[in-house]
Amino acid sequence: MKFFLDTAKVEEVESLLDTGMVDGVTTNPSLIAKSGGDMLETIGRIASLVEGPVSAECVSEDYDSMLREGELLSGLAKNVAVKVPLTVAGLRVCRTLSDRGVMVNVTLCFSVVQALLAGKAGASFISPFVGRLDDVGGDGMNLVEEILEVYDHYGMETEVLVASVRHPHHVAEAARMGADVVTIPPDILYKLYGHPLTDKGLEAFLSDWRKTGQSIGGKA
């Protein structure tokens, strides 16, 4: 499963690149606003750092304006995936850009039939928002499972990108189900490393080692 970093802060991308855990990056208008940076400059910088897809979202709602934005964003770098909402206009733009060989990430998916439409429109990625669905009493991970089942039935090549991840359990469940991608905020990614038994075991090993008076390569 691929890990995308869910951030628009260039410094966060830079700090995590050498972990080998960053296969791509997703941004959205809210993350761009929080970063305080210029959108086009920010996307360009991130795309130059990361080899994998970097999602950049259109902000218009009508087809013509959204398409112009998508063309501009995709022109920033070859690895930019244009992000469009799951609306009639958004899926029209998805089809147009997909037919031109541009990667498209269809976002704000909350039902399996929406995901089916995105797949038929040629989306590269579909982004079910599991955390937001959980927030209103739904079952976000069940939606992911349903999408994977439908896509498998029809051999759709659209990758399922699990978004709105709130905790490590979302990541674990996505991996168990066979989701293609999960996009993770930096703080959640760091939490994946942690387990109290790891900490306890490491403390015991190092305590015992110090008692030997040795160091790797010679005596202390």
d(CA 198, CA 202): 6
**Catalytic residue list contains 83:** yes
Which residue type occupies 122?
A: G
CB distance 21 to 41 below 8 Å: no
d(CA 218, CA 214): 6
d(CA 160, CA 125): 6
Joined together, the tokens standing for residue 82 give 């244009």
CA distance to 21, 26, 54, 137, 175, per residue, from 169 (Å): 17, 20, 24, 17, 10
Given 78, 83, 120, 211, the catalytic residue: 83
Q: Which residues are catalytic, by number?
A: 83
